[in-house]
Amino acid sequence: MDVDNAQSPVIEARGLGVRFGPKVVLEDLDFDIRRGEILAIVGGSGSGKSTLLRQITMLQRPSAGSLRLFGQDALALDEGERLRVRRRFGILFQNGALFGDRTVLENIATPLWEHTELDHGSIEEIATIKLQLAGLRPEDGLLYPSQLSGGMRKRAAVARAIALDPELLFLDEPTSGLDPLSAEALDELVLQLKATLEPTIVLVTHDMDSLWRVADRVMLLGDAHILASGTMTELAASGEPLVRRFFQGPRGRAAMSGATGQK
Ligand code: ADP
Ligand code: MG
């Protein structure tokens, strides 16, 4: 049954599995992502976080299980339907590069050129609004990516990801490579976007500070499975050895002691 309303989960995965040849990366995952929440996916390097994002954004087809997006069976969609669903996504890929030969504003405008029939003036207007929503100044729009700092480049990539007012925003390690202050500012931006555009946000990160600041709920991947899911407060109090190792290691404890606005 196709259900797409405010109460139903935006993403529902059951028995989801991913393997590459003999290598099992994810096995038998069951999870829902609720409308309007910020769900963080965490786990060690190579635990399958980016792979999971590729499944739920329909860039790859899972090897097993079922996946529903906005109430529709994502694995049964034809090409046209798949495009229509993906049109509701905004994605910031890990290491997601901006087009180096296009200005920031042109980068942000690209999804609008590709997916809408809007005229040149409207596209420029919308791109400028998104630029500012992402915390950049209009004059930054004229710069090329190589002329930006790391933090500005991430903001430009976020602006491009929100160009089409996505209902579902995927951010793969948006603060990686940023200094702590720029990372904190980017977390603020994520919270602002949530407040203004009200998307559901799926965030991959291993930044403990970010987790405390922005995540409504956290899902820990390890050994191809979901080791735990819950709020940061719940996970930080867990007695499970693998969960403890992740959340109560030195970096976890440092972030916890500095945590404000506890979730
Ligand atoms: P994470 O984002 O958690 O660091 P990834 O999802 O990038 O991890 O990768 C998880 C595992 O899947 C890694 O061992 C990686 O080598 C493997 N993997 C990812 N994509 C492919 C692929 N296309 N072919 C083979 N192995 C892959
Ligand atoms: Mg990754």
Mutate to test the pocket of ligand 1, among 27, 51, 173 (most ligand atoms within 8 A of CB): 51
- The pTM score is 0.91
Query: Residue 206 pLDDT more than 90?
Result: no
Give how far Cα 34 sits from Cα of 9, 134, 143, 199, Å: 4, 24, 37, 11
- Say whether pLDDT at 137 is over 50: yes
- Judged against a pLDDT cut of 80, whether residue 147 lies above it is answered with yes
pLDDT-derived band at 17 (thresholds 50, 70, 90) equals: very high
Confidence of residue 3 (pLDDT cuts 50, 70, 90): low
Distance 241 CA to ligand 1 centre (A): 24
| pLDDT band per the 50, 70, 90 thresholds, residue 8 | confident
Task: Check whether 259 has a pLDDT greater than 60.
Answer: no
Cα-flanking dihedrals φ and ψ of residue 15, to 5°? 60, 25
Instruction: Starting from the CA of residue 52, give the closest ligand.
Output: 1
Any domain includes 10: no
Question: 174 C-alpha vs ligand 2 centroid, how far in Å?
Answer: 11
- Side-by-side strand order, sheet with 89-92: 89-92, 168-172, 200-204, 38-43, 217-222, 225-230
* Residue 221 covered by a domain: no
pLDDT at 199 over 90: yes
Is residue 257 predicted with pLDDT exceeding 70?
A: no
17 in helix, strand or coil? strand
Cβ 148 vs Cβ 168: under 8 Å: no
In a domain, 114, yes or no: yes
Q: Assess whether the C-beta atom of 61 lies below 6 angstroms from ligand 1.
A: no
**Res. 258: pLDDT tops 80:** no
Q: Which residue has the tokens 């980017």?
A: 186
Q: Which residues pair with 33 in a beta bridge?
A: 11
Q: Give the model's confidence band at 248: pLDDT under 50 very low, under 70 low, under 90 confident, else very high.
A: confident
- Residue 38 belongs to some domain of the structure: no
Question: How many structural domains compose the chain?
Answer: 1
Domain-located, residue 119? yes
Counting ligand 1 atoms within 8 A of each CB, the residue from 19, 24, 25, 26 with the most, and so the one to mutate, is: 25
Check whether 261 has a pLDDT greater than 50.
no
Q: Which structural domain range is residue 107 located in? A: 99-165
Instruction: Check pLDDT > 60 for residue 110.
Output: yes
**Nearest listed ligand to the Cα of residue 176:** 2
pLDDT at 1 over 90: no
Whether residue 113 lies inside any domain: the answer is yes
Strand order, beta sheet including 64-69: 23-33, 11-20, 64-69, 72-73
Whether ligand 1 lies within 6 angstroms of the CB of 48 is answered as yes
Residue 117 lies in a domain: yes
Mean pLDDT, rounded, of the chain = 91
Q: How many Å apart are CA 106 and CA 59, to the nearest integer?
A: 24
Confidence of residue 100 (pLDDT cuts 50, 70, 90): very high
The answer to whether position 116 is within a domain reads yes
Closest to 9 (Cα-Cα) out of 33, 30, 41: 33
Burial class (CB in 10 A: 0-12, 13-18, 19+), 105: buried
Residue whose CA is closest, atom 5 of ligand 1? 48
Where helices occur in the chain by DSSP H, the ranges are 49-56, 79-86, 104-115, 120-133, 150-161, 180-197, 208-214, 232-236, 241-247, 250-257
The preferred substitution site among 18, 20, 93 for testing ligand 1, maximizing ligand atoms within 8 Å of CB, is: 20
- Indicate whether residue 47 lines ligand 1 (CB < 6 A): yes
